[in-house]
Structure 1
Amino acid sequence: MKSAREVVLAWIDALNNRDAEAIAVLCHEDVVNLQMPIGDPSIGRPAMLEHFPRLFNAFPDCRVRSLQLLEDNEWAILEWELTGTWQGMFFGHQPNGHSIKVRGCEIFQVANGMIKSQRGYWDKATWFGQLGIPLE
């Protein structure tokens, strides 16, 4: 069975390959992904198959870089940096070609070698400000 660290490293690879299917396979059927700046959690593997393609469509060149990865049993904390160029619809806004460079943190709970829960913390004001999207 994969450790929490191994699962998170596979998640990074899947995200950088823009492979929502590979991300979904890493998740429990009832995974809960709560991105704190958004507020409403995505629940279940099918939600992952909706969430990540929207990100990949908006930022088809997106890349996440691990800045720090800590593990304690079933928990892993990933400090990351995300870069990309806005080329598709994002939160109801048309793309303008602006680039982003945002840092954040994900806390993963991994049970039986699969992601059970994920909480993301990142600065919405910085991300949206770089794109020229007003905070609503």
Structure 2
Amino acid sequence: MQRPKDIVQLWVDAFNAGDVEAIAALYHPDAVNHQVANDPIRGQAAIREMFIGEFAAAKMVCIVENLFEDGQWAILEWRDPLGLRGCGFFQTAGGKIIFQRGYWDKLSFLKQHGLPVE
């Protein structure tokens, strides 16, 4: 069985490659992804669609600052090349991500990428 840190490292690798299929494969079919700046996304298929839209909108890179593990959880502190910082909490079970919560500054992200401010 893979450790939570290992699963999140696979997630980071797939994210940085822009590989939506590899990212989606890491989630349980009933997973929830809640980026606190947005509404929660429920289900592997919806999470896949979310990443398709996000990668189409902006070039995103996740540089690992710290990656911790506690029980079923992995905690990722990250930055990107433009200076945005954030953290993510990943709960895993059976080798899959079952819950993810992310904290980051959406307004800064939108401005950095020249995207419309909501």
Q: Same fold by TM (over 0.5)?
A: yes
Aligned to 2:112: 130
Q: Alignment identity in percent?
A: 45
Aligned to 1:33: 33
For each residue in 1:20-71, what CA deviation from the matched residue of structure 2 results, as whole angstroms up to 9, or x when unmatched?
1111111100000001011x11111101210111111112x42111011010
Aligned to 1:58: 57
In structure 2, relative to structure 1, the CA distance for the partners of 1:29 and 1:63 (3 Å cut) is: same
Alpha-carbon distance in structure 2 between the residues aligned to 1:47 and 1:82 = 24
Q: Unpaired runs of 5+ in structure 1?
A: 84-99
Q: Unpaired runs of 5+ in structure 2?
A: none
Moved over 6 A (4+): none
TM-score by length of 2: 0.91
TM-score by length of 1: 0.80
TM-align CA RMSD: 1.6
Q: Which has the larger radius of gyration?
A: 1
The total of aligned residue pairs comes to 118
The yes-or-no answer on 1:81 pairing with 2:90 is no
Alpha-carbon distance in structure 2 between the residues aligned to 1:28 and 1:45 = 6
Higher share in helix? 2
Aligned to 2:101: 119
In structure 2, relative to structure 1, the CA distance for the partners of 1:62 and 1:112 (3 Å cut) is: same
The yes-or-no answer on 1:67 pairing with 2:65 is yes
